[in-house]
Amino acid sequence: SEGTDSSSGDLSTSLHLAVYKLEPSQGLRLGSQQTGCELDYDISSPQYAVYLGTAERAGGLRQSRHCASSETCKGSFLSATGTLDLILASTVFVPEDFGSFQVALRLSGSDQCNQGGLQMAEGKPLDKKLLEQLQAAGRAAELAANPRWQEVLQQPVAQFPVDPPGAASIKESAQLLAGMSVWGPKVTLKTFPNGMRGLQATESIKQGSILMLFPFAKSIKLDNNSPKSPLPKLIPDHVWEAHFWRQYPYNAAVVLLHEMSKGAKSSMHKYLCMLPKAVDMPWQWSEKELDEMQVDNMKGMAADQYQRLSAVWHVLNSSEVSMPNLTWEKFYWACNIISSRSFGMDSLEGLANPRNRLLVGAAAGILGACLLTACLKSSYRGWFRVLACLLLISLAFLSGAIHRVLENSSTPAHFVGLLPGVDLFNHQALLPQPDIYMSQPGQPGQWTWKKPLDRFVRISAAADLLPGQEIFISYGSKPNAELLGGYGFLVPGNIWDVYLLRNFTAQLAEASATRLLAPFVAASSHLESLAESVGVPSVGALGVNADDLTRLQDALQPLIVETEALKSGMAVQEHAATASWKLLGQACRQELAWKATTLEEDEATLSAAGDQIARRLWNALQLRIGHKKLLQKCAAQADAAIVFLKIQQGAAKTDLQQLSPHAPALPQPHSEL
Ligand SMILES: C[S@@+](CC[C@H](N)C(=O)[O-])C[C@H]1O[C@@H](n2cnc3c(N)ncnc32)[C@H](O)[C@@H]1O
């Protein structure tokens, strides 16, 4: 029943059962008007962790109890000194849809307790003070149980609703998920307050325990390296081989489209209904929108992506391919889906191949049957029977050995696939460690199909997880531009963010034109090794974040020493350290000066736009704000290093104020170096 309810009668002997639906920030209040009554409660299968408390009518919490989700929560409260209210509330994360509870209550005590019965008020906001008390009690317990929770609570929540709507509603999706082959009893699907669909722990999960299993066979997948067409009837091998669409993500998109074309007949139909209707990628943005990112190569990258898509689309429409009813919109949707939610998986061919497994099994079976017959047939001579029996025993060991030989000689295959359920975890970019890892303990975010017969994708907890907590996986240590380009989202405050110093080579050349670095710049191999040493494979642009900067300086300094020493034969160690830091600081400031707007202006634009801001503009602004903060930080770090060196070198009188970390002032070109 829903709504206000009350009951009367002999409550000391009757159980009152009610199912209540609660709204966010609301509680269920059940009360007795009498003193000295005992209220037994029995709450079965709450969907979320709840707090129960009793309160005096005048306010103030008297007793409280935390009930974990899926725990059957039983106990009793006594209304010792006055009237008693039983309050049910979810506190830590008040879910949007609080769900339904079955609450069984039994009121006993004196006859007085029956008078007035149980008053039930549903859907009324809880007394603020009481709720705060409950929250404080609940949080204190949870914080004490897991200090990591503090970090999680402090994470900023993105204001913008980041997820595109799914084809199915969250409720439908949860039902669909339950009907699929995903095992994950402690995990539930949810839309979080920031509008993002993701997975939430419904109860405490211990570090290392498995929280989700998914059979590999139920995924939509293909071998990423295979030259053969996965759909030879629709796309002949020679067409498949001839085009670059054999590459990710186009190859897997074609397989997804084929699965979609089966409609309700597809074995993956439930999963397909859960996929987002649209994923917005930068290649779909207008030039003006791309400009808002203030990243040089974005337009080029977007144009390149669009051209590749168009080329594949062109071949798909040719007479050699028979994929009817395919539209451009469906095609690029599939590519975007693969790009934003597929997994790469290494597997072992050989035994992993079901046909090979069948062959090994059949051969062992036939041999075993022959030997068994030989064992049992009395017509054979005694010694032969003994030998046959021994062989039979060793067959068991033999099959194990064959297995191992095949396993070791198997070639690894790289699959790309969609893993239903597993693809509902969102990306953690605010903490270095994700909450979960896949299959291989100790290597969060990476996994290999170690055992060929291991047919389940396993998701295990990388830390203790608390009820109500969103569970994040890692998509890799990706900077925001890469997240935006490959997945259509970014994370403000992303700890992996990197800024590509454009034309760093040119800046070096400029710096060296008159002085130091001429031979160094001339030797492009030097530059390449420099780029490699900071983990950025491209020449001409170097990625910087605070860590890279130190590594970059480390790499730059000996080269300056080398060059200068060659020129003058002097020991230039000290000068080179300062020079390399100056060069880096200058590069960061130069980059900031090239931007069309300042950080302050961007932040003002963002806050002026408010909640109604267009999604693309929000993404572009967040990207460029993040970049500018990074550049300022790097410039400040370079300044600090120079000050430190000066102090070290005894060039006292250094005024720290002089080198303000955020000073936009530009060093003159060719200055001092
Ligand atoms: C593998 S899916 C994750 C599940 C997805 N939220 C859903 O409901 O289908 C990847 C997509 O989720 C969203 N996403 C994942 N992690 C995110 C994050 N940290 N911030 C914002 N959006 C995120 C992006 O839309 C991304 O393209």
Q: Which amino acid is at 91?
A: T
SS3 of residue 621 by DSSP: helix
* Mean of per-residue pLDDT scores for the chain: 69
Mutate to test the pocket of ligand 1, among 155, 159, 160, 162 (most ligand atoms within 8 A of CB): 162
Give the Cβ contact number of residue 390 at 10 Å: 12
Residue 250 confidence (pLDDT) above 80: yes
At 379-406, the pLDDT tens digits run 656 777 777 777 777 776 666 666 655 5
Strand partners, 649: none
What's the CA-to-centroid distance between 163 and ligand 1, angstroms? 6
Q: How confident is the model at residue 489 (pLDDT cuts 50, 70, 90)?
A: very high
Strand partners, 262: none
SS3 of residue 125 by DSSP: strand
Residue 370 confidence (pLDDT) above 80: no
Task: Output the residue whose Cα is nearest ligand 1's atom 14.
Answer: 426
Residue 162 confidence (pLDDT) above 80: no
**Is 101 exposed, middle or buried, given 0-12, 13-18 or 19+ CB atoms closer than 10 A?**
buried
Residue 12 C-alpha from the chain's centroid: 51
Q: What integer is the mean pLDDT of 344-349?
A: 61
Strand order in the sheet with 343-348: 220-223, 412-418, 343-348
276 lines ligand 1 (CB under 6 A): yes
Residue 456 C-alpha from the chain's centroid: 20
The greatest distance separating any two alpha carbons of the chain, rounded to the nearest whole angstrom, comes to 107
SS3 of residue 499 by DSSP: strand
Residue 658 confidence (pLDDT) above 60: no
223 lines ligand 1 (CB under 6 A): no
What's the CA-to-centroid distance between 427 and ligand 1, angstroms? 7
Query: What is the reported pLDDT for 662?
Result: 46
Residue 497 confidence (pLDDT) above 60: yes
Query: What is the reported pLDDT for 621?
Result: 95
What's the CA-to-centroid distance between 414 and ligand 1, angstroms? 24
CA-to-CA dists, residue 320 to 228, 239, 255, angstroms: 16, 7, 17
Ligand 1 atom closest to 173 (CA): 8
What's the CA-to-centroid distance between 482 and ligand 1, angstroms? 14
Task: Output the residue whose Cα is nearest ligand 1's atom 20.
Answer: 491
CB 377 within 8 A of CB 312: no
SS3 of residue 552 by DSSP: helix
CB 276 within 8 A of CB 163: yes
Residue 134 confidence (pLDDT) above 90: no
Query: What is the reported pLDDT for 415?
Result: 78
What's the CA-to-centroid distance between 181 and ligand 1, angstroms? 21
Residue 533 confidence (pLDDT) above 60: no
CA distance 52 to 87: 5
280 lines ligand 1 (CB under 6 A): no
434 lines ligand 1 (CB under 6 A): no
Query: What is the reported pLDDT for 363?
Result: 74
Task: Output the residue whose Cα is nearest ligand 1's atom 2.
Answer: 341
CB 350 within 8 A of CB 452: yes
- Nearest 5°: the CA angle 329, 333, 338 is 155
173 lines ligand 1 (CB under 6 A): no
Mutate to test the pocket of ligand 1, among 155, 199, 427 (most ligand atoms within 8 A of CB): 427
What's the CA-to-centroid distance between 206 and ligand 1, angstroms? 25
Kindly report the length of the chain: 673
Residue 200 confidence (pLDDT) above 70: yes
What's the CA-to-centroid distance between 616 and ligand 1, angstroms? 16
Q: How confident is the model at residue 140 (pLDDT cuts 50, 70, 90)?
A: low
Residue 195 confidence (pLDDT) above 70: yes
Q: Which amino acid is at 577?
A: A
At 304-333, the pLDDT tens digits run 888 888 888 888 888 888 888 888 889 999
Give the end-to-end CA distance of the chain in Å, rounded to a whole number.
Answer: 80
What's the CA-to-centroid distance between 268 and ligand 1, angstroms? 20
- Residue closest to 275 by CA, chosen among 220, 344, 235, 312: 220
User: What DSSP character marks residue 515?
Assistant: S
Task: Output the residue whose Cα is nearest ligand 1's atom 12.
Answer: 426
Query: What is the reported pLDDT for 570?
Result: 42
SS3 of residue 278 by DSSP: coil
Q: What integer is the mean pLDDT of 199-226?
A: 86
478 lines ligand 1 (CB under 6 A): no
Residue 205 confidence (pLDDT) above 50: yes
Query: What is the reported pLDDT for 12?
Result: 33
Question: What percent of the chain lies above the pLDDT cut of 70?
Answer: 51
Task: Output the residue whose Cα is nearest ligand 1's atom 23.
Answer: 426
What's the CA-to-centroid distance between 480 and ligand 1, angstroms? 13
Residue 57 confidence (pLDDT) above 90: no
Q: What integer is the mean pLDDT of 28-34?
A: 52
Q: How confident is the model at residue 8 (pLDDT cuts 50, 70, 90)?
A: very low
State the DSSP string of 223-239.
ETT--S-SSTTTS-HHH
Task: Output the residue whose Cα is nearest ligand 1's atom 9.
Answer: 424
CA-to-CA dists, residue 401 to 141, 360, 394, 500, angstroms: 53, 11, 10, 52
198 lines ligand 1 (CB under 6 A): yes
State the DSSP string of 307-321.
HHHHHHHHHHTSTT-
CA distance 589 to 660: 13
At 565-581, the pLDDT tens digits run 544 544 455 577 777 77
Query: What is the reported pLDDT for 387?
Result: 74
Task: Output the residue whose Cα is nearest ligand 1's atom 19.
Answer: 427
| Look-up of token digits 């028979």 | 322
What is the SS3 string spanning 346-387?
Answer: EEECHHHCHHHHHHHHHHHHHHHHHHHHHHHCCCCCHHHHHH
What's the CA-to-centroid distance between 354 and ligand 1, angstroms? 33
Q: How confident is the model at residue 66 (pLDDT cuts 50, 70, 90)?
A: low
Q: Which of 14-28, 84-98, 161-175, 177-191 is least confident?
A: 14-28
488 lines ligand 1 (CB under 6 A): yes
CA distance 25 to 90: 8
What's the CA-to-centroid distance between 180 and ligand 1, angstroms? 20
Evaluate whether ipTM surpasses 0.85. yes
485 lines ligand 1 (CB under 6 A): no
What's the CA-to-centroid distance between 487 and ligand 1, angstroms? 8
Query: What is the reported pLDDT for 559?
Result: 59
Q: What integer is the mean pLDDT of 31-45?
A: 63
Strand order in the sheet with 61-67: 5-7, 118-125, 26-32, 84-89, 50-55, 61-67
Query: What is the reported pLDDT for 603?
Result: 94
Strand partners, 300: none
Query: What is the reported pLDDT for 219?
Result: 87
What's the CA-to-centroid distance between 56 and ligand 1, angstroms? 45
Q: How confident is the model at residue 596 (pLDDT cuts 50, 70, 90)?
A: very high
- Nearest 5°: the CA angle 320, 323, 324 is 115
Stronger pLDDT, 443 or 320, i.e. the higher one? 320
Q: Catalogue the E-assigned strands of 507-619.
A: 542-544
What's the CA-to-centroid distance between 431 and ligand 1, angstroms? 16
Mutate to test the pocket of ligand 1, among 171, 176, 196 (most ligand atoms within 8 A of CB): 196
At 613-633, the pLDDT tens digits run 888 999 999 999 999 988 888
424 lines ligand 1 (CB under 6 A): yes
Stronger pLDDT, 283 or 458, i.e. the higher one? 283
341 lines ligand 1 (CB under 6 A): yes
Residue 604 confidence (pLDDT) above 70: yes
What's the CA-to-centroid distance between 426 and ligand 1, angstroms? 5
Task: Output the residue whose Cα is nearest ligand 1's atom 5.
Answer: 424
Query: What is the reported pLDDT for 666?
Result: 34
Q: How confident is the model at residue 14 (pLDDT cuts 50, 70, 90)?
A: very low
Query: What is the reported pLDDT for 139?
Result: 55
What's the CA-to-centroid distance between 186 and ligand 1, angstroms? 20
User: What DSSP character marks residue 612?
Assistant: G
Two tokens, residue 174? 């949860």
Residue 469 confidence (pLDDT) above 80: yes
Task: Output the residue whose Cα is nearest ligand 1's atom 8.
Answer: 197
Ligand 1 atom closest to 198 (CA): 6
- Peptide bond preceding 249: is omega within 30 degrees of 0, i.e. cis? yes
What's the CA-to-centroid distance between 222 and ligand 1, angstroms? 23
Q: How confident is the model at residue 600 (pLDDT cuts 50, 70, 90)?
A: very high
190 lines ligand 1 (CB under 6 A): no
Q: What integer is the mean pLDDT of 14-26?
A: 38
At 164-185, the pLDDT tens digits run 556 677 777 887 887 888 888 8
Query: What is the reported pLDDT for 97?
Result: 44
What's the CA-to-centroid distance between 393 and ligand 1, angstroms? 53
CB 467 within 8 A of CB 69: yes
Enter the pTM of the model. 0.65
